[in-house]
């Protein structure tokens, strides 16, 4: 029987490996149509998910033995970089080992984790084959379908966003497409090869990184010229083909990470990236640039204290992975400047464990500078009165995303 028919008739299970920002929505959507096992190596995560999710069709597990009934695997584990910006394939390859041990003839494995072009076939397949004793393409099929989950975005969701799919051959492509068609209402784009699908994902994020890098560079130039970047962008945006990008800190686990996968692969093929590397460098340095601006302002005061509003990598999410503002904090602290930090979305315990930083529930009232990093919805309506009430008269309001432009009248104002 065809693999998708087996799933639809509930004779076999889909298994999602890695229940994070990507794997969890996949598990929940597919469980509306077929039987799903959600596997994560983190037993605490499984415990807390079990408390929240009471769907009979979903089996949430951290015990590898529970993967026996699965015939279709979707892999959504982290693909990060190490401290030298080199891809860390550790979680991906250990997921391949795990899946390999449970692969049967006729099974499918589809990767969703962002990787460089060639990774699925050159790095993942050998591990799957080794631990299954099966031959890829003949005994089991495989493919790649990059995820497009945008945490915190209620408009662009799994079901209403076109999804790119690819497979190791035509039959695989059609079956993989049939699977995703069960949940993705917006339709699928069938890429002509796995490498094309892998590359397409990395290009999406690299393009954003590059455009933000350009805005950050413009911001540093315009600062020297004494003109406001956001006003320049407003004027330029009246042209029909102007692209809407803004300066800012680039953190998180995608835009600030994925381009390194591409430059790493390019380098191994003898090409040293110039443009991509330049924007990575600029974006990574912005946190220190912000710190230097603040230091320049507050060092003239005695025992200066700075408040940072916002530690998550973007607005209205609790995700603190690769938060760039942490670099600003360290730079300020290296000048013995006291820094208070608050964020209504971030989990204080997580921030403490990951960065050794204590969040302040009730910030003080006499700051020499306030940095607003992201436009959390609870920040956007704050006004001049609020900032005056928590700062000294000489304070600087550093509004990185330009939310309070033309609204801060009684304090010094600076934006990227």
Ligand X SMILES: NC(=O)c1ccc[n+]([C@@H]2O[C@H](COP(=O)([O-])OP(=O)(O)OC[C@H]3O[C@@H](n4cnc5c(N)ncnc54)[C@H](O)[C@@H]3O)[C@@H](O)[C@H]2O)c1
Q: Which of 61, 77, 305, 369 lies at the binding interface for ligand X (CB under 6 A)?
A: 77
Distance CA 349, CA 357 (A): 9
Region from 12-20, 128-136, 156-164, 323-331 binding ligand X, contact rule CB under 6 A: 12-20
Catalytic residue at 254? yes
Across 370-386, b (16+ Cβ under 10 Å) vs e yields: bbbbbbbeebeebeeee
275-298 vs 194-225: helix crossing angle, rounded to 10 = 40
How many residues of this chain interact with ligand X, rule: CB under 6 A? Answer: 28
Q: Which of 95, 307, 337, 396 lies at the binding interface for ligand X (CB under 6 A)?
A: 95
Q: How far apart are the first and last CA of the chain?
A: 59
Minimum gap (Å) between residue 27 Cβ and ligand X? 11
Q: Which of 8, 53, 91, 126 lies at the binding interface for ligand X (CB under 6 A)?
A: 91
Region from 40-48, 50-58, 233-241, 292-300 binding ligand X, contact rule CB under 6 A: 40-48
368, two tokens: 């020499």
Cβ-based neighbours of 222, under 8 Å, separated by 6 or more: 228, 229, 232
Residue 369 and residue 396 in contact, taking contact as beta carbons nearer than 8 Å: yes
142, two tokens: 């495989």
Please report whether residue 45 would count as binding ligand X according to CB under 6 A: yes
Region from 41-49, 218-226, 370-378, 403-411 binding ligand X, contact rule CB under 6 A: 41-49
341 Cα distance to chain centroid: 22
Q: Which of 4, 14, 21, 213 lies at the binding interface for ligand X (CB under 6 A)?
A: 21
The DSSP bridge partners found for residue 186 are: none
- Of 79 and 175, nearer to ligand X (C-beta) is 79
Please report whether residue 79 would count as binding ligand X according to CB under 6 A: yes
Region from 39-47, 218-226, 263-271, 287-295 binding ligand X, contact rule CB under 6 A: 39-47
Please report whether residue 23 would count as binding ligand X according to CB under 6 A: yes
Q: Which of 4, 20, 31, 374 lies at the binding interface for ligand X (CB under 6 A)?
A: 20
User: Shortest CA distance to 198 belongs to which of 124, 273, 301, 272?
Assistant: 124
- Of 154 and 225, nearer to ligand X (C-beta) is 154
Please report whether residue 76 would count as binding ligand X according to CB under 6 A: yes
Q: Which of 129, 147, 327, 368 lies at the binding interface for ligand X (CB under 6 A)?
A: 147
303, two tokens: 């025992």
Residue nearest to ligand X according to CB distances in the complex: 20
- Of 12 and 22, nearer to ligand X (C-beta) is 22
User: Shortest CA distance to 198 belongs to which of 166, 170, 173, 158?
Assistant: 166
Residue 396 and residue 411 in contact, taking contact as beta carbons nearer than 8 Å: yes
Site for ligand X in 167-206 (CB under 6 A): none
387, two tokens: 């900032």
Site for ligand X in 231-290 (CB under 6 A): 253-254
Please report whether residue 158 would count as binding ligand X according to CB under 6 A: no
Q: What is the DSSP letter of 84?
A: T
Minimum gap (Å) between residue 310 Cβ and ligand X? 18
Region from 11-19, 65-73, 241-249, 294-302 binding ligand X, contact rule CB under 6 A: 11-19
- Of 130 and 366, nearer to ligand X (C-beta) is 130
Across 176-214, b (16+ Cβ under 10 Å) vs e yields: bbbbbebbbeeebeebeebbebbbbbbebbbbbbbebbb
User: Shortest CA distance to 319 belongs to which of 262, 277, 379, 256?
Assistant: 256
Please report whether residue 42 would count as binding ligand X according to CB under 6 A: yes
Residues that bind ligand X (CB under 6 A): 17-23, 39-42, 45, 76-79, 91, 94-95, 98, 113-114, 147, 149-151, 253-254
Where in the sequence numbering do the catalytic residues fall? 254
């Amino acid at each position: 029987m065809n693999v998708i028919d087996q799933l639809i008739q509930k004779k076999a299970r889909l298994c999602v490996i890695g229940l994070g920002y990507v794997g969890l929505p996949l598990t929940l959507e597919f469980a509306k149509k077929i039987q799903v096992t959600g596997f994560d190596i983190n037993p605490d995560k499984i415990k807390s998910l079990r408390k929240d999710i009471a769907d009979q069709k979903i089996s949430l597990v951290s015990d590898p033995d529970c993967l026996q009934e699965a015939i279709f695997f979707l892999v959504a584990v982290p693909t990060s970089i190490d401290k030298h910006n080199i891809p860390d394939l550790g979680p991906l390859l250990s997921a391949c080992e795990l899946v390999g041990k449970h692969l049967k003839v006729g099974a499918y494995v589809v990767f969703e984790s962002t990787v460089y072009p060639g990774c699925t076939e050159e790095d993942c397949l050998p591990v799957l084959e080794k631990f299954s004793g099966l031959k890829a393409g003949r005994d089991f099929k495989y493919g790649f379908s990059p995820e497009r989950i945008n945490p915190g975005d209620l408009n662009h969701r799994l079901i209403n966003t076109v999804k790119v799919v690819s497979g190791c051959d035509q039959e695989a492509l059609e079956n993989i497409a049939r699977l995703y068609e069960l949940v993705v209402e917006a339709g699928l784009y069938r890429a002509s090869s796995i490498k094309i699908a892998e590359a397409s994902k990395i290009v999406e994020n690299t393009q954003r990184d590059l455009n933000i890098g350009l805005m950050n560079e413009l911001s540093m130039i315009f600062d020297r010229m004494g003109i406001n970047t956001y006003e320049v962008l407003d004027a330029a945006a009246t042209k029909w083909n102007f692209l809407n990008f803004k300066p800012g800190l680039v953190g998180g686990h995608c835009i600030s990470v994925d381009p390194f996968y591409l430059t790493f692969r390019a380098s191994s093929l003898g090409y040293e990236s110039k443009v991509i590397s330049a924007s990575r460098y600029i974006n990574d340095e912005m946190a220190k640039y912000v710190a230097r601006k603040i230091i320049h302002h507050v060092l003239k005061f005695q025992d200066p204290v700075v408040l940072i509003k916002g530690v998550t990598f973007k607005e209205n999410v609790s995700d603190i992975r690769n938060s760039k503002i942490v670099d600003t904090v360290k730079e300020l602290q290296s000048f013995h400047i006291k820094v208070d930090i608050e964020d209504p979305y971030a989990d204080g315990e997580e921030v403490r464990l990951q960065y050794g930083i204590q969040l302040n529930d009730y910030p003080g009232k006499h700051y020499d500078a306030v940095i607003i990093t992201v436009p959390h919805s609870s920040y956007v309506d704050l006004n001049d009165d609020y900032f005056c009430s928590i700062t000294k008269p000489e304070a600087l309001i550093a509004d990185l995303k330009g939310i309070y432009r033309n609204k801060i009248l009684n304090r010094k104002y600076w934006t990227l």
